[in-house]
């Protein structure tokens, strides 16, 4: 049973396309996150939802839109993909008040 | 704003050597501190944590002590193995700060390669 699972693991797509990445956690956590890892391995938060409410929205192009249908799911939709969007995207979850987060396996997005 | 700085990598060691990866932080509040490990092709796994000054986190032979006076959280292991080869990330979460969002702020990561 994977605690935080995201799909797909790999995504190769052309510039201008729209794509989605899905994330689900079965840990009963109330907070979920999207992090982006660039080619130099640097990790930066993009979004966070707590109980389906958006609480963090870092400086991210509005082509990126997160959606949380319920506490256990947080999806990331990206419109009009650009070459610079190529990265590994990690979903994570945590319980409010506890700092440690549990991460999914990552989605490697390659825009060609 | 809050930040984390790690020593530059890559770090290359022989098996059974002593490991230290330096990490220092800047925070306005009283953060919790973490070390995460990322094995090739995988996600991040929590390695250890410390939530207040002088706490020592430990796991799988790795240790780190929360030093408030030097704002540091250096990772150490007495004898590394080839299987420890990975990227190590120091991170903080300022749960007591004004944002209290639980977001993690990461250092830039340090690649460790252990040779047989």
DSSP letters of A9-51?
SEEEE-TT--EEEEEEE-S--SEEEEEEE-TT--EEEEEEEET
- Rounded to the nearest 10°, the torsion over CA A46, B41, A93, B54 is -100
Contacts of A48 in chain B (CB under 8 A): 101-103
Identify the pLDDT of residue A87. Answer: 97
User: pLDDT tens digits, residue range B31-74?
Assistant: 999 999 999 888 999 999 999 999 999 999 999 999 999 999 99
Taking only the tens place, the pLDDT of each residue in A54-66 is: 888 887 889 999 9
Interchain CB distance below 8 Å, A103 and B43: yes
Residue A2, CB-side half-sphere exposure with 13 Å CA sphere: 14
pLDDT of residue B103 exceeding 90, the answer is no
Q: What is the pLDDT of residue B5?
A: 96
Q: How far is B35 from chain A (nearest CA, A)?
A: 10
Integer-rounded Cα Rg, in Å, for chain A is 13
The pLDDT value given to residue B1: 83
Judge whether A108 is closer than 8 Å to chain B, CB to CB.
no
Intervals of chain A under pLDDT 50: none
- CA dist B101 and A31 (Å) reads 9
Predicted pLDDT of residue A97: 66
With an 8 Å Cβ cutoff, are B108 and A40 in contact?
Answer: yes
**Cα–Cα distance, B11 to B20 (Å, whole number):** 9
Q: How far is B34 from chain A (nearest CA, A)?
A: 7
- 3-class state of residue B82 by DSSP: helix
Question: Inter-chain contact A97–B93, Cβ cutoff 8 Å?
Answer: no
Q: Check if A94 contacts B (Cβ < 8 Å).
A: yes
> Are B33 and B11 within 8 A, CB to CB?
no
């Amino acid at each position: 049973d994977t605690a935080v699972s995201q799909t797909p693991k790999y995504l190769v797509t052309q510039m201008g396309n729209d794509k989605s990445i899905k994330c689900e956690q079965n840990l009963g956590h109330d907070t979920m996150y999207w992090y982006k890892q660039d080619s130099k391995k640097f990790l930066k938060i993009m979004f966070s939802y707590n109980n389906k409410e958006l609480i963090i929205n870092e400086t991210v192009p509005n082509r990126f839109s997160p959606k949380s249908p319920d506490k256990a799911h947080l999806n990331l939709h990206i419109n009009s993909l650009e070459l610079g969007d190529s990265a590994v995207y990690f979903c994570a979850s945590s319980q409010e008040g506890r700092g440690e987060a549990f991460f999914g396996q990552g989605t490697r997005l390659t825009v060609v | 704003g809050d930040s984390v700085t790690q020593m530059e990598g890559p770090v290359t060691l022989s098996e059974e050597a002593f490991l230290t990866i330096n990490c220092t932080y800047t925070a306005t509040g009283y953060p919790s501190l973490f070390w995460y490990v990322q094995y090739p092709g995988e996600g991040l796994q929590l390695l250890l944590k410390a939530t207040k000054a002088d706490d020592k986190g430990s796991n799988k032979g790795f240790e780190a002590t929360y030093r408030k006076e030097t704002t540091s959280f250096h990772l150490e292991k007495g004898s590394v193995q080839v299987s420890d080869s990975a990227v190590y990330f120091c991170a903080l979460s300022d749960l007591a700060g004004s944002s209290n969002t639980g977001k993690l702020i990461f250092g830039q990561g340090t690649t460790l390669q252990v040779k047989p």
